Chain A
Amino acid sequence: QSVLTQPPSASGTPGQRVTISCSGSSPNFGRNAVSWFQQLPGTAPKLLIYRNSHRPSGVPDRFSGSKSGTSASLAISGLQSEDEADFYCAAWDDSLNGWVFGGGTRVTVL
């Protein structure tokens, strides 16, 4: 049972917009920022969004993040076939004194 809650799956057709939610609680989302990772099969997670809504260099602007209260979301606009992957949210938890993660959302491009 992951500390952060994500839907297990999401899907869309090429060009569509897909949104993934991530639900937390006060110890993690209360004072701390959310980050998002993309994981392709057989590879390590890759940082996609940091500090709730910032993209590292090289991440396409099709990916965007937001956070409000104890909820966060990742949006993928203009969905492409190469976006098929598992996506995870993460945040520091002040109660557990450690990083906590969502259970992951598998995005399928139909």
Chain B
Amino acid sequence: QVQLQQSGPGLVKPSQTLSLTCAISGDSVSSNSAAWNWIRQSPSRGLEWLGRTYYRSKWYIGYGVSVKSRITINPDTSKNQFSLQLNSVTPEDTAVYYCARTGETGDVDYWGQGTLVTVSS
């Protein structure tokens, strides 16, 4: 059974960097059949895909258009996890952030527990 455990601060000051980590159990971040996503949810923006990383003989990373200039997603094979960094945050970035797996069927099938991140001074 795949489990995704998120960690990171729930409060970030405006203009600073939001950092979250997603630890994977029951699968590998280096899997040749999975992809690892970050998705956020807010009342104003709904569910919004932020980006993903996956391994197919080499690492691929892709980002959503709304955050492309501010986001970094990195896999960490030594700890079997992946991370999200979002720079220059504003109150508009306040949301529940989820990590999630895209499985063999090509669908998002497992989600982390979610982390409410509030951007406020």
Contacts and interface: CB of A to CB of B under 8 A. Distances in A.
A44 B65 contact: no
A47 B47 contact: no
B109 A99 contact: no
Interface of B is mostly: strand
Contacts of B108: 35, 37, 47, 90, 99
Interface string A84-110: 000010101000111111111000000
B106 to A, nearest CB: 7
A45 B111 contact: yes
Contacts, number: 55
Interface residues of B, number: 22
Contact of B46 (A35, A54, A101): A101
A56 B106 CA distance: 13
A50 B107 contact: yes
A101 B47 contact: yes
Given A101-B49, A103-B46, A47 B62 contact: no
Given A43-B114, A44-B114, A99-B108, 15 more contacts: A33-B106, A37-B108, A44-B111, A45-B47, A47-B107, A50-B105, A50-B107, A88-B47, A97-B62, A98-B51, A98-B62, A99-B49, A101-B47, A103-B46, A104-B46
Interface of A: 2, 33, 35, 37, 43-47, 50-51, 54, 56, 88, 90, 92, 96-104
